Amino acid sequence: MKAIVFEEFGSELVLKEAEVAAPKAAKGEVLIRIAHTSINPVDWKIREGFLKGMFPHVFPIIPGWDAAGVIEAVGEGVTSFGPGDEVYAYTRLPEVRWGTYAEFIALPESSVAKKPKSITSTIAAGVPLVGLTAFQSINKIAKVRAGERVLITGGSGGVGSYAIQFAKVAGAIVVATAGSNNQGYLKELGATHAVDYTKGTLVEAARAVAPEGFDVVFDTIGGETLALASTLLKPGGRVVSISETPKNGTFHFVYPSGAELSEIAKLIDEGKVRPAETTVRSVREAAAAQVESRSRHVRGKVVLAINF
C-alpha cells in the first residue's frame, strides 16, 4: 500500500511517500480501507521525537491516529462488523508504527465504531481522537454534572469544541476561552460565555461569570493558561488537563474506545453535538498540514483525503 512515512525523528522534511506492506486483519481485528484521516498535534510531536519515551516505536513510522473508511476484511471471531461497513476509529496501538496516513490499517474490533449516519467520511475522520479526548475528560474523568460551572481553555480547537458541547449536554454552564476571531464560534458551539484570552482578562472575565469559582476546569493549553485557570477553581473543584499534569488535578491521555465512539455517533446523529469545522487537504500535503497544526492557530480540524 501507499503511505506517508518517516524513518527518523526530525522536522516535517523527514516525511515521505513510500510503498509499504499492507497489514492484515488478525484474530479479533478488522482491516479498514482508509478514506480520510486527520491532523492532530500528537502527529508532529511523535515525528519530532517528543513522545519517544512515552510509546515504544518501530521505524518506518506511519503517522496518524484517526481514520474513517470502509471495512475491507475481518479477522476470525469478529462479530460486530463486516466488509463494506462504514466506520471510524481512534487508531492508537501499543506500538507506534502503523498509522493512518495510509491506505489501510488493521485494528482491534473494540477500537472501531460505525460512522455517524448523518455526516460524511470526510467529517467523521476529524472526530475520533479529539471527540474521545473531550468525551472522556468531561464525562469520565471530570464527571461534569448538571448545573455545574465549567471553564474550558482553548475552546475553538478540536478538543475544546467538543468539550463545550459535551459539557452542555451534561447540563453545565460553560465558559470557554479563544482568540478575538473565535468568540462567535464559541457561542455557536453552546458556550454560555466566551472569554477573549488575547485581551489579558481571563481571570477577571471568568470571575465575573462565576465569582464563587468553577466546579471544573478543563485545560487544553497548559503552561500559564493552566496556572491562571486553576486559580479560578472553587474549593473541592476538579481540574483536568490534556497538556500537562496540573497541581491537584488529573492529566488525561485519550484511550481507544469503540463503545464511546458509538455514544458520540449517537449524539451527532441526534443533533446534540456538531462536528468541528473541517478543512480538507490531500494526504500528499501532510507535511504542510503538520506545520499548520504546530502553529496552534487551527480552527476546528484539518482532514487529509487518502488520495495517493
Rounded average pLDDT over 86-97: 97
Tell me how far CA of residue 50 lies from CA of 43, 98, 129, 216, 247, in angstroms.
10, 18, 19, 29, 22
pTM for this prediction = 0.96
Q: How far apart are CA 70 and CA 235, in angstroms?
A: 48
The answer to whether residues 142 and 216 touch, using CB atoms and an 8 Å cutoff, is: yes
Beta-carbon contacts of 266 under 8 Å, excluding residues fewer than 6 positions away, are none
What DSSP assignment string belongs to 224-254?
Answer: HHHHHHHTTEEEEEEEEESSS--TTSEE---
Q: How far apart are CA 72 and CA 25, in angstroms?
A: 9
Tens of pLDDT, residue by residue over 102-158, are 999 999 999 999 999 999 999 999 999 999 999 999 999 999 999 999 999 999 888
Angle (CA) 1-19-34 rounded to 5° is 30
The answer to whether residues 192 and 206 touch, using CB atoms and an 8 Å cutoff, is: no
The pLDDT value given to residue 295? 81
- Helix or strand (DSSP H, E) at 185: helix 183-189
- Nearest to 233, CA basis, from 264, 260, 257, 206: 206
Q: How far apart are CA 183 and CA 180, in angstroms?
A: 6
Which cell goes with 25? 486483519
Amino acid at site 129: L
Residue 125: helix, strand or coil by DSSP? Answer: coil
Q: How far apart are CA 66 and CA 126, in angstroms?
A: 7
Q: What is the 3-state secondary structure (H, E, C) of 190-228?
A: CCCEEEEHHHCCHHHHHHHHCCCCEEEEEECCCHHHHHH
> Does the pLDDT value for residue 207 go beyond 90?
no
Which cell goes with 188? 455557536
Q: How far apart are CA 140 and CA 149, in angstroms?
A: 17
Tell me how far CA of residue 91 lies from CA of 56, 123, 126, 128, 192, in angstroms.
15, 16, 12, 9, 33
Confidence of residue 297 (pLDDT cuts 50, 70, 90): low
Helices (H) and strands (E) in the chain, counts: 9, 15
Tens of pLDDT, residue by residue over 210-263, are 899 999 999 999 999 999 999 999 999 999 999 999 999 999 999 999 999 999
Domains of the chain from N-terminus onward: 2-127+275-305 (3.90.180.10), 130-251 (3.40.50.720)
Which cell goes with 171? 447540563
Tens of pLDDT, residue by residue over 18-58, are 999 999 999 999 999 999 999 999 999 999 999 999 999 99
- Nearest to 137, CA basis, from 59, 249, 223: 249
The answer to whether residues 12 and 290 touch, using CB atoms and an 8 Å cutoff, is: yes
The answer to whether residues 150 and 172 touch, using CB atoms and an 8 Å cutoff, is: yes
> Does the pLDDT value for residue 74 go beyond 80?
yes
